[in-house]
Amino acid sequence: MEIYLDNSATTRVYDSVVELMTDMMKREFGNPSSLHRKGSQAESYVRYAKQTIAKNLKVNEKEIFFTSGGTESDNLALMGAAFANARAGKHLITTCIEHPAILQTMEHLQELGYEVTYLPVNSMGQILLQDLENALRTDTILVSIMHTNNEIGSLQPLEEAAASVKRYNPNIVVHTDAVQGYGKYRIYPKKMNLDMVSVSGHKIHGPKGVGFLYVNEKIKIRPILYGGGQQRGLRSGTENVPGIAGLGRAVEEIYHNLDQDVEGIFYLKQRFLSGIQTIPDCKINGYLDERSAPHIASVSFRGIRSEVLLHALEDKGIYVSAGSACSSHKPTVSATLKAIGVEPDLLQSTLRFSFSVFTTVEEIDYTLQSLYDIIPMLRRYTRH
Amino acid sequence: MLPAFLIKYAEIGVKGKNRYLFEDALVQQMKYALKRCEGEFAIRKTPGRIYLDALTECDFDEVVENLQTVFGISGICPMIYVEDEGFEKLKETVVKYVRDTYPDRNKTFKIMARRARKNYPLDTMELNASLGEAVLDAFPEMTVDVHNPDIYLYVEIREKIYLYSEIIPGPGGMPVGTNGKAMLLLSGGIDSPVAGYMISKRGVKIDAVYFHAPPYTSDRAKQKVIDLARQVSKYSGPIYLHIINFTDIQLAIYEKCPHEELTIIMRRYMMKIAETIAKETECLGLITGESIGQVASQTMHSLYATNEVCTIPVYRPCIGLDKQEIVEISEKIHTYETSILPFEDCCTIFVAKHPVTKPNLEYIKRHEENLKDVIDGLMETALSTRETIVVRCEDSV
C-alpha cells in the first residue's frame, strides 16, 4: 500500500495531463517560434493554456508568463520588479515565513543594495496589518506576501494587506507567492489588488518544471533571463510546450469541481486532526478552521525525532514530510516553525501531512492507526 | 601515434620468487581500472617492466587518472618506442621527440641512457654523450645540466628503443590481491572509507559491513554508504558489502544498559558481528576508521574495551592521524563530498549526552549480562537477515 500525504511537496499528475503531454511530445514537438505550420500548431497549445489560465484568474492573456516553476516565478517577480523600479526606491517588504525562493532572492537583493523589511507573524503564522502599515515607506517599491504558508498552511490577510499597500501608495508593486494556495482557492488578482502572482504546475497535479507568473500589464518589470525574446521579451527561451499544455489542463481539472473537492480535502484534514488530538503530547501548529489551508496539517510529536517518525511511517507505506530537514551534525531548523514560536523541543519533532483530491478516508484512518501504533513504540526510545 | 605507457612499480620489484604473483596481480588491477576507460588496451609484461599500449584512440587524461587508482604503480611514463634502425636514426628520433614533447625548450636536460641489450654498439656513456650532442645541435636554446636538469630524457635500448621523459606519480603501495582480505566496518563518516583505502593500498582485498538501523536511519543513509563503497572500490576492486539490520540490538541495549555506555556496548556487538562475517568470508582481520581520542568511543580506554571482544587482528590505519589529515586523504580519494552528506548513521542516533570516555571493562561486561536472554537470538537474526551486495566502481548509481 502506498499512501501519499506529501502533496505540498508535489502531487500526482492527473491522467488527462499525462495523456495530453505524451501525445504532444510524440506529435506536437514543434517550436512555437517557428514560422511553419508545425510551429504554429505548437503555439496554439501555448495560447490555449494561456487563455485557460487568464480566464481562471480573470486577467488578460498577455499578463501570463510561463516559467520553469515557482522558484523562477518568484525570482522573476522580485528581481524583475526591484530592478525596474529601483529609481522610485530600494525598499522591499516581505514576511519572515516565505518560501526560500522568496527569502533567498530577497537576500540576494540585499547584497545588491536593496533594503528588506521582514514582517513577523503571530503564533498562528499570520502577519498583522498594523506591522505592514508601519513598515511602508516612501521608498517602498515592492511588497511580497505569500498566499498560503507551505509548512503550516496559514493564510495571510492578503486582500486587506494589498488594499492597505495601495492606499498608502498605488505605485508599490504587490506580489504573492500562491504556489500552495492556487488550486485550493480562487485567486482574482485584479479584485485583490495583486500585481504579480507566482504559481507552480506540479503542486496542482500538473507537470514539474513549469509554472507561471501573472504580471499586471501596468507595472514595470525587467527580464532576468536574456535570449531570443520569447514571451514578449520578459522570459526568453523556447517555451516548454508540453509542460505548458499540461499545466493548462491541470488548471482546468483542478478548478472544475473546486468547491466540492476542497470541501472533501478539508473534511479529511479535520478527520485527521481530530484523530491526532487523541494522541497525548501532540501539538497542532496553526489554526484548525478555515483560517488555515484545507490541505496542510502540521503536527509536533513531543519526544520523537521527525525524521525517525517519517521513516517509520514510510515503512508502512505512508509518505509525509519532516517540518525541518535535520541531521546529527547540522540541525537546520524551519524558519516558519521558529517564527510562530514553536518551542525548541518540538522544532525537530514536527511533521507535515498534506492531502489532495486523491486522498481517501481509508488512507486517513490507516495513517492514524499507524501513528497510534508507532508513537508509543518510538517514545520508549526518546533521546535525552 | 597511439599512446603507450611504461608502468613503474616500486616495492614489488623486490619480492624474490613471488615476484610473478605481484606482477600478475598488478596486471589484473590495471585491467580492472582500464575497464573504466574508453578504448582498447594491451598490457605487456617483460622482465622488470610492464608496458601499456593503447590499441585504439583513447583519452590520455582518463587513462592516467584511472591508472592512478592502481596500487602498486609508482610511476606512469608516457612513452614512445621505435625499432632499432641504427644510431643515426635514433638521434633523429630523439630530436623529434624533444621537439614534439617540449614546445618551450628553454630548459636544461640530461640524457639517461640504459642498455638492457648489452650488444648495442655504443655503451651507456657514449649514448649519453652523443645523444646529448644531437639535442644541443638541434636546439641551441637548451643546455645540459647533469646534476639538476629540468628534463630527464630516458632512452632505453631493449629489443626496441624506448623514449620517455615524464614520470607521472602513481599511488604506490602493492597490487590488491597480493595480501589477503579484510573486513571494513564502513559507516557513513569520513574516516572509515579512508581506512579501507589505506589498508587496500597494502595489497589487501576488502569486504565491508554496514549497520543499518531503520527507521532511525534512512534509505538515503544506506545509499550513501553504498556510494562510499563504490568510490573505495575504484582502488580496492569489487567490495562485498554486508548490510546488517541493527535496530533491534540497538533498542535492546538502549533499554537494558546504562545510557552512558551505549556506544561502547553497541560497538562491541558491531565488532562481534563483523568478526563473525569476517571468519565466514575468509577475512583475516577487521578494519576500522578509529583515531585515538577523536570521540568518546575512541579514547584509549574505549578502544581497549571495544577491542576486547575481537579475536582477530583489528587494523586501524587512521589511528595516529589528526582529523584534518584524514580529511585530506578523503578529499584525495573523492569520498569526502559523500561522507559529509547529512544523514543520520547508526552511531549518532542514540548517543548519550555524556558518554563515558573511560569505560570500565568490568562494568561493561556486567551490564552486558542484562542482555543475555535476548542477545544471542538478536545477533543470529541480524546475521541471517543480512543483505549482501557486490559493489563495483563501474556500477552506475
Residue A315 to residue B259, Cβ atoms within 8 A: no
pLDDT of residue B349: 61
pLDDT of residue B159: 84
Are the C-beta atoms of A181 and A155 separated by less than 8 Å? yes
Residue B14 — very low, low, confident or very high, per pLDDT cuts 50/70/90?
A: low
Residue B217 to residue A311, Cβ atoms within 8 A: yes
Q: What is the pLDDT of residues A10-63, one digit of tens each?
A: 999 999 999 999 999 999 999 999 999 999 999 999 999 999 999 999 999 999
Indicate if the pLDDT at residue B345 is higher than 70.
no
Cβ neighbors of A170 (< 8 A, separation 6 or more) are none
Exposed, middle or buried, B251 (CB in 10 Å: 0-12/13-18/19+)? middle
In whole angstroms, give the CA distance from residue A175 to residue A172: 10
A282 is catalytic: no
pLDDT of residue A384: 45
Residue B344 to residue A380, Cβ atoms within 8 A: no
Q: What is the pLDDT of residues B243-265, one digit of tens each?
A: 999 999 999 999 999 989 999 99
Under DSSP, is residue B210 helix (H, G, I), strand (E, B) or coil? strand
Q: Model pTM?
A: 0.83
Q: What is the pLDDT of residues B252-311, one digit of tens each?
A: 999 999 989 999 999 999 999 999 999 999 999 999 999 999 888 899 999 999 999 999
Handedness of CA B44, B46, B48, B49 (dihedral sign): negative
Residue in A with minimal Cα distance to B351: A383
Unique residue bearing C-alpha cell 487568464: A54
Under DSSP, is residue B339 helix (H, G, I), strand (E, B) or coil? helix
pLDDT of residue A383: 53
pLDDT of residue A323: 59
Mean pLDDT of A148-177: 97
Catalytic-role residue among A161, A326, A357, A364 = A326
Question: ipTM score of the complex?
Answer: 0.74
Residue A328 to residue B217, Cβ atoms within 8 A: no
pLDDT of residue A331: 53
Domain positions in chain B = 4-169, 181-391
Domain annotation for chain A: domains and CATH numbers: 15-256 (3.40.640.10), 257-379 (3.90.1150.10)
Q: What is the pLDDT of residues B53-79, one digit of tens each?
A: 999 999 999 999 999 999 999 999 999
Q: Which fold has domain B181-391?
A: Rossmann fold (3.40.50)
Residue A325 — very low, low, confident or very high, per pLDDT cuts 50/70/90?
A: very low
Mean pLDDT of B203-210: 97
- Indicate the angle between helix axes A241-256 and A258-276, nearest 10 degrees: 80
pLDDT of residue B12: 64
In whole angstroms, give the CA distance from residue B57 to residue B54: 7
User: Out of A328, A380, A381, whose CB is closest to B344?
Assistant: A328
Which residues of chain B lie closer than 8 angstroms to A333, CB-CB? Answer: none
Q: What is the pLDDT of residues A191-245, one digit of tens each?
A: 999 999 999 999 999 999 999 999 999 999 999 999 999 999 999 999 999 999 9
Touching A: B residues 328-357, CB under 8 Å: 342-345, 348-350, 352-353
In whole angstroms, give the CA distance from residue B225 to residue B210: 8
Q: What is the pLDDT of residues A271-281, one digit of tens each?
A: 999 999 999 99
Residue B356 — very low, low, confident or very high, per pLDDT cuts 50/70/90?
A: confident
Identify the architecture of domain B4-169 in CATH.
2-Layer Sandwich (3.30)
Unique residue bearing C-alpha cell 636538469: B149
CA A201 to chain centre: 10
Please tell me the distance in Å from A380's CA to the nearest CA on chain B: 8
